[in-house]
């Protein structure tokens, strides 16, 4: 079921973006990538702020991550598109063949990016660990590709290259990177690991079981996603880069 829904997202976005012509498709494609990166960087801090200051109930705090994620992503696309249209009110004429090929290629690319971001956001949804065929370990797009893990990898790559920054202690603030040895007895086997799918799969599993901690509190505080390593040696975690 999730595969069909993802294909529908790609199809609808492709049709809408391609209908705007090659320049409009180019603006939308760039806006989708930049908005997705901004959403990945800011959704956890925004959700944490809203949960601490406005929506304090357990039910709302479980929803805030995906609300903040998709809200920032959608707002970023519309905002960047509006800026692009203001900066380029008229489009340069291109060859008809390039026009048709370009708008459909960029339309499909935009559709895939939007689908990947939406699929990534489902990791944070207040739903069971597995739903509608969605499984965090599975290639959720017809077993052909894993757009969510591709998007997470792209975000991590960007955080380590073009958008890299150093923390005050000199460590690289990479997105969702923890380091620990593959062999705990050998420090030379230190490797980088991603915790995003694992943390949110664990949180969804708790939510699917009722979301009540072992103490049995009827109004529990939301359980934060567990970390993979107790003391990561580098990276800013999934909350930003």
Show the domain range for 37.
Answer: 2-166
Q: Does a structural domain hold residue 177?
A: no
- Is residue 233 a part of any domain in this protein? no
Q: Determine, yes or no, domain membership for 139.
A: yes
> Per the structure, how many domains does the chain have?
1
73: Cα within 13 Å, side-chain hemisphere: 24
CA proximity to 72, closest of 98, 35, 105: 35
Q: Bigger pLDDT: 66 or 57?
A: 66
pLDDT at 213 over 70: no
* 200 within domain boundaries: no
Asked if residue 189 belongs to a domain, the reply is no
Higher pLDDT, 226 or 149: 149
Average pLDDT, the chain: 83
- Select from 74, 71, 23, 20 the least CA-distant residue to 43: 71
**Average pLDDT over every residue of 106-115:** 97
For residue 241, being part of any structural domain is answered with no
Is 56 domain-assigned?
yes
Q: How confident is the model at residue 238 (pLDDT cuts 50, 70, 90)?
A: low
Residue 190 lies in a domain: no
- Highest-pLDDT range among 63-67, 185-189, 190-194: 63-67
Q: Confidence band (pLDDT; 50, 70, 90) for 151?
A: very high
| Whole-structure pTM value | 0.81
């Amino acid at each position: 079921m999730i595969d069909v829904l993802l294909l529908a997202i790609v199809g609808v976005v492709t049709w809408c973006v391609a209908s705007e012509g090659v320049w409009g498709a180019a603006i939308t494609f760039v806006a989708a990538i930049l908005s997705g990166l901004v959403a990945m960087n800011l959704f956890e801090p925004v959700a944490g702020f809203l949960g601490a200051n406005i929506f304090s109930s357990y039910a709302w705090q479980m929803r805030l991550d995906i609300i903040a994620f998709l809200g920032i992503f959608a707002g970023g696309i519309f905002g960047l598109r509006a800026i692009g249209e203001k900066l380029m009110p008229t489009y340069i004429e291109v060859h008809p063949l390039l026009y048709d090929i370009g708008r459909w290629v960029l339309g499909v690319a935009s559709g895939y990016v939007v689908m990947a971001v939406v699929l990534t956001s489902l990791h944070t949804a207040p739903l069971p660990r597995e739903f509608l065929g969605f499984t965090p370990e599975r290639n959720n797009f017809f077993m052909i590709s894993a757009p969510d893990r591709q998007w997470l990898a792209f975000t991590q790559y960007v955080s380590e290259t073009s958008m890299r920054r150093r923390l005050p202690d000199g460590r690289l603030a990479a997105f969702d990177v923890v380091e620990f040895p593959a062999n705990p007895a050998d420090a030379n086997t230190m490797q980088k690991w991603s915790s995003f799918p694992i943390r949110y799969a664990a949180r969804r599993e708790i939510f699917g079981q009722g979301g009540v901690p072992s103490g049995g509190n009827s109004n529990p505080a939301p359980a934060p996603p567990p970390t993979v390593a107790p003391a990561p040696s580098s990276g800013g975690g999934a909350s930003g880069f």
